[in-house]
Structure 1
Amino acid sequence: MHSLSRILLHRSNSVLNSPTFLVAVRQTSAGPPPATPAKEGSLTYKYEQFIGKWPKVLALHRTVLEGSRWCFADVKMYFKTKRAVATGQKKLTDLSVEELETLVQSGSELIKMLTLIVILQIPGPGDILILMLIFFPRLVLTRHFWSDQQRREYFQLEVTKALISGEQLLKTYGNPSSTDENKMKPLDKLDSSEMLLVHNMQSMYPIPGSSKRIMNRMKALRALDNLLPTTIDGFNERQLIFNCYIRKIDIGKKNDSEMRDSLRQYVKFTSRMPNNVYLYASPLFKQK
């Protein structure tokens, strides 16, 4: 098999640097940017013609190509948006839904994305992505490489674990309701065991600087909540699943209508919460 990583880099860079990428990158949670068809006679074209003899191999190859383009697009938008906010070029209230979605990705997912981008720069190891796709999709890869069914299944697993941690944390406060503001500790007042539960609730690793990232993620998520009522009707299933996941709302077997309803209820439920209460929004929403 030819080096898949070289093909990935060539295809990804050609898409990312094309004029259409300015529009295509705005897909984000909806899916990857549209692909530029391989030119007849090119290395990519010949390679796909060759592996086309084995349909399953071709399908895996295209899944990796699509996932790589999507991952590149998200990483590029993440750093571009983060820089714009940090330098004061934009405020959170100026950002689009797609830009905010990249900012609220969990720390664990972002670390995986950055690791995959590094791997794809090295000729050869990119071929290993196909093996990862077959044997370790949830442990090693990100949502960009999963099927729609896997995305729903894996996100629900993360939501379930997050809610369990959230419920354990609320128990330490005597299971207060969302109106018991004084019983909710702000992030800087939590002890080490409570902080660990908060990290689990946010699907984030407890590494240096993570507390600041949790605060920034919470601010970005609240800005995204403000945009949701006017944009949610245009969301497809992928977007609805992703938006439930980042808020740690149960996905289960809900259809599109049920997920929209859950998201609308969540935004309404949390709209008047101060930040120290919003930190616990997901388990509070589940128990309401």
Structure 2
Amino acid sequence: MFILQTSSKFLYPQLFTRRNRSIKKQYATIRYLHDKNNEKKIKFYVVNRYILYLKDYEKHIERRFPNAVGLYRSFMDGTKKFIQDVKLYYSIVRSLNKKVKSLPDLTRKELELFDQMPRDMLKLTPILFFSALPFTNYVIFPLIYFFPKQMLSQHFWTLQQRVDFNRSFLHERLMHNKPIFRHLQEQLVRLKGHELYKPWEEVLGKIGSGVQPDVEEIIDCKDLFVNDPYNLNYLRGSHIKHLLHLHNLNTFFWFRRKRLFEKALLLKEMDSAIMREGGIHNLPVEALRTSCYIRGLNPTNMKNEDMINWLNKWIKVSRAIDQDSVSLLLHCPILLGYNEPSNWTLIYAYSRKQIL
């Protein structure tokens, strides 16, 4: 048997050579795959360890610099929210310009965004522009950390900051209530002999004595806001300026009365949108508070029922006026909110802080 195998090896040398080559080739392939598998394992191990290191390093940074990390994340999240709102705002503007939609077609949220975004964009565009430049973060981030109210919008604020800053902004607006009320009183003399002189005198007298007039009494005097002396075209410059501050509008000299007129129409459309969407009682709590802030009422510590009742009064006036008497709606923060306890609490609280 051994003789036959040996002889066959010598008789057929090519057959044995091919077999040895095949075995060597299979062994080389197996070894290559084994080495490659080990290489993958090593790469996977290195990458995995690197990721774990980064996670640990991130936690280390958070422990060492929690405020800086929190500020950075808030800034990035706020930027994303701001960009989303900018896109929605320009979508609304484009629809309005192309006559695809009109103001009555917009929802309450869209109308509020349409009202607020120009101010936010004016404030944030320079900040976002300079933050994108090299090395400016060393200046920008400390500034927005120490002055978030002045340099950022609500997209970047925490929940507590929103409450605090909204109250602060409303306080600044409410400080113009008294000058506007004084202007209303000064023009009363010019109405002597007018059929609405006595009813209007009673309305102003109630407000001046700390009593809130009835909504019906205010609506009955709306014709005084159609012509002289309370129509927008007849108001004195200082009166106009205080109204601009009260409604959170810029006070640039050009087109001031037009801005107030457009603001009044926008407020009226917001009121209509609320009623289209089910009424005030269907608004979420946060939307209730926002609606009060927009219209000049401090909702802090107010019950939902009180906010709803006040907004119902506002909307009752809003539905009773037209474009000729929109000046009345601009004065509703005084006519309906001058003697509201929450407003006086806010005014007194901030005045006391300034004194102390």
| TM-score greater than 0.5 by the shorter chain | yes
**Residues 175-221 of structure 1, C-alpha deviations (whole Å, 9 max, x = no match):** 85434234432223222211211111112221234443332232222
1:278 maps to amino acid: L
Is the 2:231–2:327 Cα contact (8 Å) retained in structure 1?
yes
2:333 maps to amino acid: S
Pairwise CA distance, 1:244:
1.7
Taking the aligned partners of 1:206 and 1:213, their CA distance within structure 2 comes to 9
SS in 2 for 1:52: helix
Q: Which residue is 1:279 aligned to? A: 330
Q: Which residue is 1:181 aligned to? A: 222
Of the three residues 151, 159, 163, the one matched with 1:152 is: 163
Pairwise CA distance, 1:111:
2.0
Alignment of 1:73-112 (within 5 A): 73-105=84-116, 108-112=119-123
Q: Which residue is 1:138 aligned to? A: 149
Pairwise CA distance, 1:76:
2.5
2:329 maps to amino acid: Y
SS in 2 for 1:271: helix
Is the 2:104–2:269 Cα contact (8 Å) retained in structure 1?
yes
Taking the aligned partners of 1:47 and 1:190, their CA distance within structure 2 comes to 63
Pairwise CA distance, 1:126:
5.2
Q: 1:258 to 1:146 in 2, by over 3 A?
A: farther
Q: Which residue is 1:259 aligned to? A: 307
Is the 1:132–1:141 Cα contact (8 Å) retained in structure 2?
no
Q: 1:82 to 1:236 in 2, by over 3 A?
A: same
Pairwise CA distance, 1:235:
4.4
2:307 maps to amino acid: M
Q: Which structure carries more relative contact order (alpha carbon 8 Å, separation 6+)?
A: 1
Is the 1:163–1:283 Cα contact (8 Å) retained in structure 2?
no
Who wins on radius of gyration, i.e. which is larger? Answer: 2
Taking the aligned partners of 1:46 and 1:261, their CA distance within structure 2 comes to 54
Pairwise CA distance, 1:281:
1.7
Gaps of 5+ in 1: 1-40
TM-score of the superposed pair, with normalisation by structure 1: 0.71
Deviates more, 1:100-109 or 1:219-228: 100-109
Q: Which residue is 2:124 aligned to? A: 113
Q: 1:139 to 1:242 in 2, by over 3 A?
A: same
Gaps of 5+ in 2: 1-50, 189-199, 204-217, 340-356
Q: Which residue is 2:39 aligned to? A: none
Pairwise CA distance, 1:56:
3.2
Taking the aligned partners of 1:241 and 1:221, their CA distance within structure 2 comes to 15
Q: 1:69 to 1:287 in 2, by over 3 A?
A: same
2:310 maps to amino acid: S
Of the three residues 228, 246, 251, the one matched with 1:206 is: 251
Pairwise CA distance, 1:108:
4.5
Q: Which residue is 1:52 aligned to? A: 62
Q: 1:128 to 1:148 in 2, by over 3 A?
A: farther
Is the 1:78–1:102 Cα contact (8 Å) retained in structure 2?
yes
Taking the aligned partners of 1:231 and 1:181, their CA distance within structure 2 comes to 24
Q: Which residue is 1:3 aligned to? A: none
Is the 1:173–1:183 Cα contact (8 Å) retained in structure 2?
no
Q: Identity of paired residues, percent?
A: 21
